[in-house]
Structure 1
């Protein structure tokens, strides 16, 4: 058994599985990390069995546009929250024991600040957890900073490092968020599977 409590955050980060915008992960042994700008990451875990996970979403929910396929909903906050919760339950977690920690919603890019997306993401995370009866025991939302987040599902420990927004940091976060936004605009690939 790994003693995560006596390990430095740097060592935890070295061992972590990184998730990008639009992704989620459920783990028992491996830590999870991500870099946040206006996005929000929610960490949920069951302390009794040591299972937990993290998601990383850019928008609270997606609305189906007339005449389009609703694949965007698979990458939104409402989907990310449901799939994370179900992943934890599927690995032995119990709903009544699940706790949450949530982070992000920063304002690091002026165009995104004007849209208020960071605040909408943070509000969505709080409201969803409250509606589902999952206790939010720690959070760090909003502000003019990006965040590096580490989460250890086995212990429920989360490490959040606020980073002053530099040009390099803003570009790295903006690049990841832009790639995610572009993926939402692309039509799904055509399947070459023929059903008979």
Structure 2
């Protein structure tokens, strides 16, 4: 199977069976998948939106998501059949948490743009405290997330019922509850 690794500002869509991968910290990736047609896509953006006077670019969330939707529909996906997952938006540098958190803005723009398109968000793995590797298999819609670090284990997001049985998800994160630690830190209840 062909493997495509996305860097910041890149967008990839395919109706052929490929593995789309990216690594995220505060950046965000949106996975789109049309299960009826077996068409999938992934993007990777750095910042939520362009500032006044800046050129449109797919390093910005709004432009990147618009480009992803346009490309996947152009390939033959039905916008009404698309499902979305949001990944990343992590607070990977503790010193900046609560002061300068690009991740939160990146997550917000993803949710807003997908709402405008009417594409349901069926899952998220956001606000992790370490980097993550996200992989989408376009043929099946299977998505895996691997936290980066010495004790990392892959988490099946879609396509593996065992993953849902192993961990009790919170209301925000359907996968592993990784949002609990950052949420507790913001509330001041986490001991360091």
Aligned to 2:115: 130
Cα offset, 1:110, TM superposition: 4.4
The 5-angstrom pairing of residues 183-194 of structure 1 reads none
- The size of the alignment, in residue pairs, is 149
**2:89 corresponds to which residue?**
105
Secondary structure at the aligned position of 1:127 is classed as helix
| TM-score, scaled to structure 1 | 0.70
Structure 2, unaligned runs of 5 or more = 152-192
In 2, distance between residues paired with 1:155 and 1:49?
10
Question: For the Cα contact (< 8 Å) 1:27–1:53, is it kept in 2?
Answer: yes
Greater radius of gyration (CA):
1
Distance 1:34 1:80, change over 3 A: same
CA distance in 1, matches of 2:144, 2:52: 36
Structure 2 residue 52 is matched with structure 1 residue 64:
yes
Match of residue 103, structure 2, among 109, 118, 125: 118
- Structure 1 residues 2-42: Cα deviation after superposition (integer angstroms, max 9, x where no partner): xxxxxxxxxx7xx4210001111011221100000000000
Aligned CA-pair RMSD: 1.9
Match of 2:4 among 4, 11, 17: 17
Within the alignment, does 1:52 sit opposite 2:52 as a pair?
no
Equivalence for 1:155:
140
The runs of at least 4 consecutive aligned structure 1 residues that moved more than 2 Å come to 70-75, 109-114, 163-166
Residue-by-residue CA offset, 1:163-187 (whole Å, 9 max, x unaligned): 2489xxxxxxxxxxxxxxxxxxxxx
Residues 145 and 163 of structure 1, relative CA distance in 2, 3 Å threshold = same
8 Å CA contact 2:30, 2:44 repeated in 1: yes
Q: For structure 1, which runs of at least 5 residues remain unmatched after alignment? A: 1-11, 167-196
TM-score by length of 2: 0.71
Q: Distance in 2 between matches of 1:58 and 1:159?
A: 21
Say if 1:63 and 1:73, in contact at 8 Å, map to a contact too. Answer: no
Q: Quick check: which one's helix share is greater?
A: 1
